[in-house]
């Protein structure tokens, strides 16, 4: 049975960064990166937006082939279509995930990690010597590997975590059901992202327009089915697109789940680390997970490398990974989770009124702090919401 030091399951942002960081931290280690799909980065199940600062920790977006658009403006759209611009600076980027994920995987490969596409992990068991035996299925049939540490970066399915005995299940109220079209031939500001809220538009979530090019955008939404009226995410999206862009051509379609929960209680077991969506490391308010996944992947890759070098891959040794993640972002996600649930108590009329209040502040003075103060003075019903965020 082939033997590796680190076996990473899933070549998304978490897995590729984990593989390359493990290899950089300990070049003598054998690192294997498995990707179930036949191409890294495809199919795209993502709105493809990332913040500028977080992205720059890992890659330089200026002039990169894996960037679709630079974003300099965020437009919040109230349920009654009142638009509120709130930022005018280097906000972020819309990626081309097919190219971006391949770029990250190629970096891992360049650092000496081995990449196998079209190969899925089918199960794993722990042997008496402490190694994990991972069964695989690929183009050449079934195989198996022995690994000192397995990093589960396998996304929403989170099978590695499950096989290791971690609880990666999600209550239905914390699962956003998402659907998205690529719509062409539509009119919007290609330097802005648009986020629209509303009980009839995307209950428990929001609808988005993320530009890919002039006249072309990812148009999608995420909603919590338990808060809906029985229609599924695609039904809600069809209604929204038909209203906003009746003449747009829908040239691509994707669906998926975004876990809007908080980090799972245990992100490691003996010889196992889980990172990214698989560990629910998603900002539960925004649904953003790409930068979180890369940050977690970096921590996981380094933790695996250090543990193997020391000859101790026990859960006790690996638990430092969990604590570091919680300090870095996990604790923040607990606050965002509370805020999300507080905001869900507000009705559409409140959001409409809030949008008008914010629009009375001149755009240049529209800092978050000023919006916040204004909002609390004019809309005292928001005070408990704010309190829940800060407590």
Interacting residue ranges for other proteins, rule: CB under 8 A = 36, 45, 120, 137, 155-159, 162, 168-170, 172, 175, 177-179, 225-226, 228, 230, 232-235, 254-257, 259
Closer by beta carbon to other proteins, 192 or else 233: 233
Closer by beta carbon to other proteins, 25 or else 122: 122
Closer by beta carbon to other proteins, 65 or else 172: 172
Residue 240 CB, nearest approach to other proteins (Å): 14
**Widest pairwise Cα distance in the chain:** 68
Residue 51 CB, nearest approach to other proteins (Å): 24
Closer by beta carbon to other proteins, 49 or else 228: 228
Residue 317 CB, nearest approach to other proteins (Å): 27
The b-or-e profile of 24-56 (16+ CB within 10 A means b, else e) is bbbeebbbbbbbbbeebbeebbbbbbbbbebbe
Closer by beta carbon to other proteins, 123 or else 384: 123
SS percent in the chain: helix, strand, coil, step 5: 40, 30, 30
Cα–Cα dist 223/352, whole Å: 19
Residue 334 CB, nearest approach to other proteins (Å): 19
Q: At what angle do helices 368-378 and 348-359 cross, to 10 degrees?
A: 120
CA torsion angle for 12, 16, 19, 24 (degrees, to 10)?
-160
User: Both ends of the chain: CA-CA distance in Å?
Assistant: 52
Residue 14 makes CB contacts below 8 A (sequence gap 6+) with: 153, 275, 276, 277, 278, 293, 294, 296, 297, 300
Helix (H, G, I), strand (E, B) or coil at 281: coil
Closer by beta carbon to other proteins, 113 or else 290: 290
Q: At what angle do helices 290-310 and 315-325 cross, to 10 degrees?
A: 150
Residue 162 CB, nearest approach to other proteins (Å): 7
Q: At what angle do helices 97-110 and 13-25 cross, to 10 degrees?
A: 20
Residue 273 CB, nearest approach to other proteins (Å): 18
CA gyration radius, the chain: 22
CA torsion angle for 41, 42, 47, 48 (degrees, to 10)?
30
Residue 282 CB, nearest approach to other proteins (Å): 12
Closer by beta carbon to other proteins, 99 or else 162: 162
Residue 225 CB, nearest approach to other proteins (Å): 4
Closer by beta carbon to other proteins, 30 or else 154: 154
């Amino acid at each position: 049975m082939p033997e590796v030091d680190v076996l990473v399951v899933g070549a998304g942002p978490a897995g590729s960064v984990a593989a390359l960081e493990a290899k950089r931290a300990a070049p003598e280690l054998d690192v294997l990166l498995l990707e179930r799909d036949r191409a890294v980065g495809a199919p795209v199940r993502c709105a493809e937006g990332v913040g500028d600062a977080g992205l720059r920790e890992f890659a330089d977006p200026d002039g990169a082939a894996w960037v679709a658009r630079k974003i300099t403006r965020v437009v919040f759209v109230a349920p009654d279509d009142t638009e509120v611009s709130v930022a005018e600076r280097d906000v972020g980027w819309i990626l081309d995930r097919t190219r971006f994920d391949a770029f990250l995987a190629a970096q891992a490969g360049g650092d000496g990690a081995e990449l196998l596409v079209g190969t899925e992990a089918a199960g794993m068991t722990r042997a008496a010597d402490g190694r994990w035996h991972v069964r695989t299925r690929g183009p050449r049939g079934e195989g198996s590997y022995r690994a000192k540490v397995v990093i589960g970066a396998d996304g929403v399915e989170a099978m590695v975590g499950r096989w290791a005995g971690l609880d990666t299940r999600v209550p239905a109220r914390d699962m956003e059901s998402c659907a998205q079209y690529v719509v062409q031939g539509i009119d919007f500001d290609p330097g802005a992202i648009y986020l629209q809220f509303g009980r009839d538009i995307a209950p428990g979530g929001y609808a988005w327009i993320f530009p890919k090019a002039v006249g072309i955008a990812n148009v999608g939404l995420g909603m919590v089915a338990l808060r809906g009226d029985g229609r599924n995410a695609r039904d809600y999206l069809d209604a929204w697109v038909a209203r906003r862009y009746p003449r747009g051509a829908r040239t691509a379609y994707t669906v998926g789940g975004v876990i809007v929960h908080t980090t799972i209680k245990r992100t490691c077991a003996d010889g196992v680390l889980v990172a990214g969506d698989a560990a629910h490391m998603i900002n539960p308010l925004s649904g953003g997970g790409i930068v979180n996944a890369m940050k977690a992947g970096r921590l996981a890759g380094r933790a695996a490398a250090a543990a193997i070098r020391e000859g101790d891959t026990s859960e006790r040794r690996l638990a430092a990974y969990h604590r570091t993640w919680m300090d870095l972002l996990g604790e923040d996600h607990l606050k965002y989770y509370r805020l999300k649930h507080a905001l869900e108590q507000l009705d559409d009329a409140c959001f409409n009124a809030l949008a008008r209040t914010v629009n009375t502040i001149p755009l240049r003075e529209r800092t978050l702090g000023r919006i916040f103060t204004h909002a609390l003075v004019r809309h005292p019903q928001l005070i408990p919401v704010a309190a829940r965020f800060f407590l």
